[in-house]
A = this chain, B = another copy of it.
Amino acid sequence: MTTISELDTPCVLIDLDKVEANLARAQALADKAGLKLRPHIKTHKLPRFARRQVERGAAGITVQKLGEAEVMADAGLTDMLLTFNIIGAAKRARLKALHERVTIRTVADSAECVDGLAETFTDPAHPLGVFVECDTGMGRCGVQSAKAAVSLARRIAAAPGLAFAGLMTYPAAGKYREAAKWLADAKALFARENMELPAITTGGTPDLAHMAEAAAVATEYRPGTYIYMDRSQVAAGAAGWDDCALSVLATVVSRPTDTRAILDAGSKTLTSDTLGLDGFGYIPAYPEARIAGLSEEHGTVDLSASAQKPAIGAVLRIIPNHACPVSNLFDRVHLVRGDGVVETLDVAARGRVD
């Protein structure tokens, strides 16, 4: 078996034992809370792991782009939620093709989006399920009030080829209580209006431990990053370093000064995502080292606070700030167990940006 030490750098390692533990923990939390789990595959972009999530009990998967849905459908996944407004005739045609072959539902947060879908999907015998996306505090997409959610749900329900599927939100990290209150208020309004509310789906990994509280109103939970975890999730208290399944292997290629090391991993490897953190990753073997800056191919490490200093040629594992975009940068990832490389997989849904 190839060992990690034989790999050329930079490259991505996925620790299979940690993946399995992370999947098991989240599924157990969901089962205990009585929530369906619908993992977001944007983190791994691998059909292998999507199938594994379903095998372990997930109700289906979440995808962010049509291209991801197409890759997953090709790989045999059959139940997916596309949590992105589909706008424009070309994209609606692709969604229709998917709707013919798998169970796929989507979201909308505007009359324009619903009306476009209603134009394309016209078969009452095989309607497209559409959730109303709600902005519960994230400040991204979503209707701004319960009243607007009811109104848009009515518009969906009135379209012969559409079916109102429920409410969908991606809550701001740490704001699960605010999100739950928003959704509870909306649920109450739907009840007052005598409108059926088939499902309420929420996320994500930072507030995984609070799934039981989400379950007071939600019916489904959509975490993504939990399969790999990363430095941002450790910072959010959602994981420990030992839970981090994805790491980047990099080599020290220069030691220009006593306190500076240069890695062969820059923003093309670790991404420029800071997610509010200082520096661009964590090096477990050198916990006091700070990845202070990235250019495209170089990572600049400040060793001022580190008593131990890696030599030129040293190969280091790095926990990135944000695992998901790292998956998107690599054509292949190495699945490892301990120091052994079990298999190398193409990242099938990498770069599926549209």
Q: How many residues of A contact B (CB 8 A)?
A: 58
Give the interface centre of A143, A297, A300, A324 by most chain B CB atoms within 10 Å.
A297
Minimum CB–CB distance from A317 to chain B (whole Å) comes to 16
How many copies of this chain? 2
Is there an interface contact between A142 and B330, defined as CB atoms closer than 8 Å? no
Within 8 A of B (CB), among A119-137: 135
Establish whether residues A298 and B8, one from each chain, have CB atoms under 8 Å apart when the complex forms.
Answer: no
CB–CB A300/B8 < 8 A:
no
Chain A residues 297-342 with CB under 8 Å of chain B are 297-298, 300, 311-313, 324-325, 328-331
**Chain A positions near chain B (C-beta within 8 angstroms):** 8-11, 42, 64-65, 84-85, 87-88, 90-91, 109-110, 112-113, 135, 139-144, 251-257, 260, 262, 264, 267-269, 271-274, 295-298, 300, 311-313, 324-325, 328-331, 351, 353-354
Give, as a whole number of angstroms, the nearest-CB distance from A244 to chain B.
19
Output the nearest chain B residue to A90 by Cβ-Cβ distance: B8
Are B9 and A354 in touch, CB under 8 angstroms?
A: yes
Q: Which of A90, A268, A273, A353 has the most CB of B within 10 A?
A: A353
CB distance from A162 to the nearest CB of B (A): 17
Decide if B353 touches A256 in the complex (CB within 8 Å): no
Partner of A274, one of B112, B272, B311: B272
Instruction: Specify the chain B residue showing the minimal Cβ separation from A139.
Output: B300
Q: How far is the CB of A60 from chain B (nearest CB, A)?
A: 19
Q: B256–A142 contact, CB under 8 A? A: yes
Find chain B residues with CB under 8 A from A272 CB. Answer: 271-274, 325
